[in-house]
Amino acid sequence: MKFWSDKRVIVTGGSGFLGTHVVDALRERGCRHIVVPRSNDYDLRHQANVIRLYRAHRADMVLHLAAAVGGIGANRSHPGSFFYDNLMMGVQLMEYARQFEIPKFVAVGTICAYPKFTPVPFREEDLWSGYPEETNAPYGLAKKMLLVQSEAYRQEYDYNSIYLLPVNLYGPGDNFDLETSHVIPAIIRRCLEAKEADAPSIRLWGDGSPTREFLYATDAAEGILKAAEHYNDSASVNIGSGHEISIHELADEIKALTGYTGEIVWDTEQPNGQPRRCLDVSRAKQKFGFESQVGLKEGLKRTLEWYQNSLGTEAQTSARTAAD
C-alpha cells in the first residue's frame, strides 16, 4: 500500500481487458495517480503522441499493457498491422520513458514470443531457441523486441525496465467477438448460442490436440504489480499458472459448464497453432513471490457468469431503447 500511495503511474491499455484489472488492483493498493491514455487521444504508434503523453503526465512508472492482439484468425488476417502497431508502440514508449527519466518501465510481452517447439515447461532461457509459431510470429516477435530493448537500455543507459511474459489470459471483461477473440471466450459464446438455437453441433478450429495454459486476469494483474514493486532486472519472467490442458479437454469443460449437449466438430482444415504451451513459473515465485490463486474450473465459472450477466444487461438496455 505504501509503495503505490505516492506513485504516478501511466497504464497503456488501461481500459482494455487486462488493463482494467491492473487499474483496479492499483486502486486497491492505494495508488491515487493513474493515467490511462485512450487511443482516440493518444495514438501511441506515433512519436509525437508519446512525447505529448509524457510531457502532460510526469510519471514514476509506465506499465505498458497496450497491444494489437487477437486469436489465430485475426493474426492470419492482419500479420503486418499486428507487427507494426506493437513494435512502434513498444519501442517509442520505452525510448521516451528513458529520455523523460521515468524511473521504471514495465513491458508486458506475450507467450507467443516463444519458439514453436519449445520444450515443456517453457523456461525463460529457451526464448531464443527457435522461431515462433507461424500464425502469430509477427505479433510475438514485435513484442519480443521489448526484451531486446530492455536489455540494451540497461547495458548502455542503466535504465530500469523489466519484461514479463504472461500466458494466455481469460476472465471477466474478456473479448467475446468471434472475429478477434481468443479460445475461451470463443468457445463459451459458441456453446451458449448453440444451446439457445438448439443447434446439434458447433465447429471449432483444429483437432483439439494442442495444449494451453491459462491465467485468470486478476492473477495476471497481481503478478504484474508484484513484479513492478519488487523486480528490477531485464531477464524475462514468465507469469502463469503452470497448469496445462488440451483444447479438447477445455472445450468439454466449457460445454459442461454452459449446459450445451450438442456435438463438437473439429475443423481439421484449420490450423492448430503452437502444439503445446505450459510455463515454468518458478522464477516469478523466486524473484517476487507470485503464484496464481484462481484454478481453471473456478475461473471458467466466473467468466461464464460475467458474460451471461453482460448479455442480460445488454438485453435490458436494448429493451429500454426500444421502449423510448
Q: Residue written as cell 496445462?
A: 244
Distance, CA of 168 to CA of 165 (rounded, Å): 10
Dmax over CA atoms of the chain, in Å, equals 64
Q: Catalytic one among 139, 153, 231, 260?
A: 139
Produce one character per residue of 283-310: b if its CB has 16 or more CB atoms within 10 Å, e if not: bbeebbebebebebeebbebbbebbeee
Tell me if residue 131 is catalytic. no
Cell of 63: 506499465
Produce one character per residue of 35-44: b if its CB has 16 or more CB atoms within 10 Å, e if not: bbbeeeebeb
Percent composition of the chain: helix, strand, coil (DSSP 3-state, to 5): 50, 15, 35
Are 106 and 227 a contacting pair, CB within 8 Å?
yes
Q: Which residues are tagged catalytic?
A: 139
